[in-house]
């Protein structure tokens, strides 16, 4: 299974409560077969102990270590909020749900950091279409 499926890239998201955004991000992963449904609880648990805001208007919700047993295969979900959505007092424009088997999360996070290292890259992503976002994350651009 591919790390990112086009159906898991959701454009034009409206601002919502952080927990609701995390649930939706996790549901995308669950509905695509990447994780067991209980992984979503692990994503919410992670956020309680450590914010997944990584700067530049990007959040990367993912499960706590114990939730890794609920991952079937590594996968991503991408939600784009053109107006931003509040996340611990800051606006997030891109929320990337992550489920990673073993140490794959390190390479996934490095790839995200590389692709979205500055605000210009994030701004470009916010106005991109599904195919462009898919190509950015899958290294086809």
Q: 23, 62, 99, 137: which is the annotated catalytic residue? A: 62
**Is residue 1 assigned to a domain?**
no
Res. 41: pLDDT tops 90? yes
- pTM for the model stands at 0.95
Chain centroid offset of residue 114 CA: 15
Backbone angles phi, psi at 94, to 5 degrees: -135, 125
Helix then strand then coil, % of the chain, to nearest 5: 45, 25, 35
Token output for 29: 């992963």
Q: Are β-strands 58-59 and 90-99 bridged in parallel, bridged antiparallel, or unpaired?
A: parallel
What's the pLDDT at 103? 81
Report the Cα–Cα distance between both ends of the chain, in Å, rounded. Answer: 20
When pLDDT is cut at 50, 70 and 90, the band that residue 117 belongs to is: confident
When pLDDT is cut at 50, 70 and 90, the band that residue 141 belongs to is: low
Least Cα distance to 39 among 61, 13, 17 occurs for 61
**Is residue 44 assigned to a domain?**
yes
Q: Which domain holds residue 104?
A: 6-137
How confident is the prediction for the chain on average, in pLDDT? 94
Return the bridge partners of 58, or none.
55, 94
Task: Please indicate whether residue 62 is annotated as part of the active site.
Answer: yes
**Is residue 10 assigned to a domain?**
yes
Overall number of domains in the chain: 1
**Residue pLDDT, tens place only, 43-87:** 999 999 999 999 999 999 999 999 999 999 999 999 999 999 999
**Is residue 71 assigned to a domain?**
yes
**Is residue 41 assigned to a domain?**
yes
Res. 140: pLDDT tops 80? no
What CATH number is given to the structural domain containing 26?
3.40.930.10
């Amino acid at each position: 299974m591919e790390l990112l499926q086009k159906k898991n890239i959701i454009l034009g998201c409206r601002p919502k409560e952080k927990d609701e955004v995390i649930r939706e991000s996790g549901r995308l992963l669950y509905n695509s077969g990447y994780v067991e449904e209980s992984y979503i609880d692990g994503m919410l648990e992670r956020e309680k102990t450590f914010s997944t805001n990584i700067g530049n208007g990007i959040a990367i919700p993912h499960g706590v270590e114990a939730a890794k047993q609920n991952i079937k295969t590594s996968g991503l979900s991408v939600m784009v909020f053109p107006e931003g959505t509040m996340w611990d007092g800051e606006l997030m424009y891109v929320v990337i749900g992550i489920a990673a088997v073993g140490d794959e999360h390190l390479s996934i996070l490095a790839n995200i950091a590389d692709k979205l290292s500055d605000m210009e890259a994030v701004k470009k992503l916010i106005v991109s279409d599904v195919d462009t976002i898919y190509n950015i994350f899958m290294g086809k651009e």
